[in-house]
Structure 1
Amino acid sequence: MGRGPSIENRKNAEDARRGKVFTKLIREITIAARSGADPAGNARLRVAIDKALSANMSKDTIERAVKRGSGADGADNMQEIRYEGYGPSGVALIIDTMTDNPVRTVSDVRHALSKHGGNLGTSGSVAFQFQRIGELVFDTSAAGSEDRLLEVALDAGADDVQADGGRSTVLCAPDAFEAVKKALTGAGFEPLDADIVMRPDNRVAVSGDAEETLRDLLDWLEELDDVQEVYHNAALPPAQ
């Protein structure tokens, strides 16, 4: 009897997390579809749909989001806004949002930063420290898979492959992302994660209280309804 509420609470928490992920994916599809409802001619939409399918979103839900973004299913007043700022120990942050209320969003982001010893910067204040790049992560713990992935990735146009602890991260130009992903999946490699991201040129070390505060800040930002993605330049060790 004592296990019932615990299991129910875990399920509720998982449902809430899944709902938040779906909300962000739907927003991304909606915004991407503004540039065209046909994924064949809209690379951003193809990437967004792939992410949604990987998260087990239904095709009906995806189609409704595409229709909304393309204007075929009512008005869409969402805006994309990028905020730049600093967290504890001067960690650079890029916070990508989608919102129908920019006043609310900037207030929420500013509050989160100030609560954790950070501050909002001006446009361009940290973006120069990042590059927009395709990033695909694979499990290459099996014998021989690391070398095979490296060969396929470079042949497909990837710029670099970084291996560490049984995982390999493939980096490529955004316009090569789809070709690289297709070549790797065709060779039997299924990505653990694949997206076009803002990747820092260099990472700064954080530890102790600063690390704890930064993790709290990142969690806070990612919980905000309007926040889509948060990028930073901290060298954070894996959470225990």
Structure 2
Amino acid sequence: MAGHSKWANIQHRKGRQDEKRGRIWTRLIREIIVAARQGGGDLNANPRLRLAVDKAKAANMPADNIKRNIDKATGNLEGVQYEEIRYEGYGIGGAAIMVDTMTDNRVRTVAEVRHILSKNGGNLGTEGSVVFQFKHCGQLFFAPGTNEDQVMEVALDAGAEDVITDDDGAIEVLTSPADFEAVRNALEAAGLVPEVAEVTMRAENSIALSGEEAVKMQKLLDMLEDQDDVQNVYHNAELDLGE
């Protein structure tokens, strides 16, 4: 199945995440704590925790840090109580935005998210206003030039829902959240290592923004991602920043 070009946006996002490496540990620790609190500290029985620990290891977090935060979440140590809250709203050009947060103070968090949106040309919506435009799924991206036939064969045999070749040759594999690990493991066992592999909220349709609108949207997304309580920002904008 063919698709639009997302590769430039994926690479741009990865580059910005690399610039903010120091903040990633904070977010990963929160995810580990919440995942362990909800599903227990056994990695074999808790897929969400297993994925969070994999991400932490990939970000070079020491094993002691990981274990300490699992213990904190499962009651072996005292810790902060985090609450998961999702906010929905709109950005430049009516682009849909979802902001997943973990916070110990929901009044502070909603005020800051609302302020960032309104200050940068967006607005906070009501619950359910944009979530229908996204699909909860596993998503794996392979760089242009990867063997498309091999990716398709391995991925579909392992239970993937779809394999999409974008206009620029990048390959996107979609899975159900439950099948994500099995598909990723099968691909990596075949020597096919994705550039990006995550369980995410994928936009069903996109809005193309360029020029000044794209710059404004990127500024808005950066400010949301820099907010201390924000874990993930999802949106349906494809940005042409002219880079």
Same fold (TM over 0.5): yes
Equivalent position to 2:73, from 69, 90, 108: 69
Q: Deviations over 1:155-206 (max 9, x none)?
A: 0010111223343211000011111011111111222211110111111122
Distance (Å, rounded) in 2 between the aligned partners of 1:94 and 1:239: 25
Aligned residue number for residue 127 of structure 2: 123
Distance (Å, rounded) in 2 between the aligned partners of 1:204 and 1:15: 25
Counterpart check, 1:37 vs 2:59: no
Report the number of matched residues: 226
Q: Give unpaired runs (5+ residues) of structure 2.
A: 1-16
Counterpart check, 1:210 vs 2:213: yes
* CA 1:206–1:55: 2 relative to 1, 3 Å: same
**Residue pair 1:140, 1:146 contacting (<8 A) in 2 also:** no
Equivalent position to 1:155, from 136, 153, 157: 157
TM-score normalized with structure 1 length: 0.89
Q: Deviations over 1:81-119 (max 9, x none)?
A: 100001111111000001111111111101110011111
Report the aligned-residue RMSD.
Answer: 1.9
Equivalent position to 1:23, from 23, 26, 35: 26
Distance (Å, rounded) in 2 between the aligned partners of 1:238 and 1:156: 36
* CA 1:226–1:209: 2 relative to 1, 3 Å: same
TM-score normalized with structure 2 length: 0.88
Query: Aligned ranges for residues 186-205 of structure 1 at < 5 Å?
Result: 186-205=189-208
**Residue pair 2:214, 2:240 contacting (<8 A) in 1 also:** no
Alpha-carbon distance, 1:15 to partner: 9.9
Aligned residue number for residue 146 of structure 1: 148
Q: Deviations over 1:107-165 (max 9, x none)?
A: 110111001111111111110111101011223525xx221111100100101112233
SS in 1 for 2:41: coil
**How much identity, in percent, do the aligned residues show?**
52
Aligned residue number for residue 237 of structure 2: 234
SS in 2 for 1:236: strand
Q: Give unpaired runs (5+ residues) of structure 1.
A: 1-13
Counterpart check, 1:97 vs 2:87: no
Distance (Å, rounded) in 1 between the aligned partners of 2:191 and 2:142: 11
Distance (Å, rounded) in 2 between the aligned partners of 1:27 and 1:44: 12
SS in 1 for 2:240: coil
The amino acid that maps onto 1:189 is L
Alpha-carbon distance, 1:17 to partner: 2.4
**Residue pair 2:143, 2:169 contacting (<8 A) in 1 also:** yes
Alpha-carbon distance, 1:53 to partner: 1.1
**Residue pair 1:85, 1:122 contacting (<8 A) in 2 also:** yes
SS in 2 for 1:132: strand
**Larger RCO (CA under 8 A, 6+ residues apart):** 2
Counterpart check, 1:220 vs 2:236: no
**Residue pair 1:161, 1:171 contacting (<8 A) in 2 also:** yes
